Chains A and B, each alone.
Chain A
Amino acid sequence: MLEIKNLHVELEDEDKQILKGVNLTVESGKVHAIMGPNGSGKSTLSYVLSGKDGYEVTDGSAELEGTDILDMEPEERAAAGLFLAFQYPVEIPGVGNMTFLRTAVNAQRKARGEEELSAAEFLKVVREKAKSLKIDADMLKRPVNVGFSGGEKKRNEILQMAMLEPKMCILDETDSGLDVDAMKLVADGVNALRDAGRSFLVITHYQRLLDHIKPDVVHIMADGKIVKTGGPELALEVENNGYTDILAEVA
């Protein structure tokens, strides 16, 4: 599904290398987790893959289903099936959550040459998906993320993901700022989307999210590289011993 080879990335404004040769392959239908200490480049990886400005790829490649995505515009990557659940979802005052969702869904459908959803069809689907995430009618009407609690914002990200039905979902620290109940709700939402044709890259600091979203593969990232790869037990190791031991071991 996603194949990253030798990815090197610098900050555009300052001469600072953040990613120093990331290699990562996420197979179709699998859930990979990336863990790592602060500043290891986890969030940068998610931004570079989704096409945010401010980063320069100096070497390497990233392919989604065999197509190089690094030269594509962010919206083209989105239409190709890449989705990023933001660590800090952005507020858009005055724009209703529904309007936003529907504009996004139809923009992607249009980009793929598909028929746009009618208001009625759209509404039916939204209602269904919102219900399972405990998102009520009021939250759908309110402006995008404005005045949302941390939990509401993250649930809203998952609702967007459910509506857009991406192939490759990147979750950037989706557990940050969530209490246990909210985390469970979000994890349930993600698990409901697990499918043979859909892959996940879950970026997190902590093991606790991985208790709910069980990964197939766990990677440890440090200083711009994947330094260790293993099964779910690797996350437990981090939980018990912290990163220090692992980093010392690979150094």
Chain B
Amino acid sequence: MELTGAEITIRCLQEEGVEYVFGYPGGAVLFIYDELFKQEQVKHVLVRHEQAAVHAADGYARSTEKVGVALVTSGPGVTNAVTGIATAYLDSIPMVVISGQVPTSFIGEDAFQEVDAVGITRPCVKHNFLVKDAKDIAGTLKKAFYLAKSGRPGPVLVDIPKDVSNQKAEYSYPATVSIRSYNPQVQGDIGQIKRAAQMLLEAKRPMVYAGGGVILSDASKQLTELVRLLGAPCTNTLMGLGGFPASDNQFVGMLGMHGTYEANMGMQNCDVLLAVGARFDDRVIGNVAHFNSVPRKIIHIDIDPASISKRVKVDVSIVGDVGHVVSDLLSVLNSSKQKPDATALKDWWKQITEWRGANSLNYKNSSELIKPQYVIETLHKITHGDAFVTSDVGQHQMWAAQYYKFNKPRRWINSGGLGTMGFGLPAAMGVQLAHPGATVACVTGEGSIQMNIQELSTCKQYNLPIKIVALNNRYLGMVRQWQEFFHGNRYSHSYMDALPDFVKLAEAYGHVGILVEKPSDVEGALKEAFARKDDLVFLDFRTDSTENVYPMVPGGKGLSEVILAEDL
């Protein structure tokens, strides 16, 4: 059957079961938009800026097990999308971005709205393609979806020149795909798994450190079973929150720069560390030399061989899909006669309980000023800990991570790797569309929300009843905190003057706005907002402007060199 490139593109999306495409039209994608118009199966969501299209596709992907899809035009369409693509890349989110390109005969001529999309996105995609013939579109899109979701997931860009989208070609969607140079390992090596099991059984002070790989692999059930079987404490990275239930007694909180005292001390002092789908990044283990100064055995499970022994040398490496490897590890442990050392574990937990006693997330509530931590705790209470929570980047992100106790995977949606301000609201749109009727909160700050505030318009168009919880402290809080700690209180350009009246702004976009200035109004305002099931509500919480995020392991320091709130 002969179809145009644009028809083929849409057929492929239908074949892949794509429910939503987030995009913005322009000259180079007009033929594709024309075909979108002629069908109903693939729904299009018109954003107000291409960055938001990619973040929305990202939020959609993170909150489901599906591949997010974005569609942008050539030139500025692509360059606007780059931040979103890099955000997805750093957090390994499965995504396909289709970009228009100038006609093939114009490529390289600095044509109107031309950029080298493949070149400009190359360092921040898993892979990308420029399609030069309509007959290659189906095969390329098939590969793109396969690459995006298999192995270590990631964004894949497919650049389609305008003439190719209008060119006719024979169409049939490939049933299978194989790429000779790409064969991700799913099953872990059983020999290595047995070695790991033995090491864990002999451990006196075991610790489980689980990251985003657990979420991506949908392995939280297996992980939870493993942690319970081992009797070990479990910490989650920022990306891994919800991978192990936060309300479980074996959970010691998030680790890293703003991790709990017990999680970081546990990491530093354990004798066997099991890393599951986590990559020892700088915000997690701080100073590598300091981390390595204490002897411990490390077992590392990761689907990406390049993540293993990148920053920290490990003793047992297991390359494979986290879900498969942990399941195999469980069977080996279950069939072993040896059991974890109960006496040693008792002593280990005694030590952990002592560290817990530092109560490192404690804060002094106030009846005068709204404490941001209190807002998050109340948000958790009002939503029964069951909301999808997206966030932007900064202090509010850390407070949300620390005080909203996630018991389920895929509920905590944030830009962990790239740290992209402006992520929260568009990501929430993707989440809300994926889960109509679910409670979706976007925890943000007055700085971050303004980076994609235009999406309030998209939310109106598609009736997305997101609850925006803005912790408005009139500062770029995390920058201000670093300036307070490390730059002699010189608050260079971290104060934001001339802020808009967010209540009026929300109203201008057709939403509801609520200003909250007193601690006693926090709970009532949240209740009122969440009771409005059909409305987007913008909650402008005027929070204590000088509050800092504790605990804090300053950049370049070791995990035990922590600043606690009470130290100051």
Do these two chains interact? no
Q: Which residues of B contact A (CB under 8 A)?
A: none
Give the B-binding residues of A (Cβ under 8 A): none
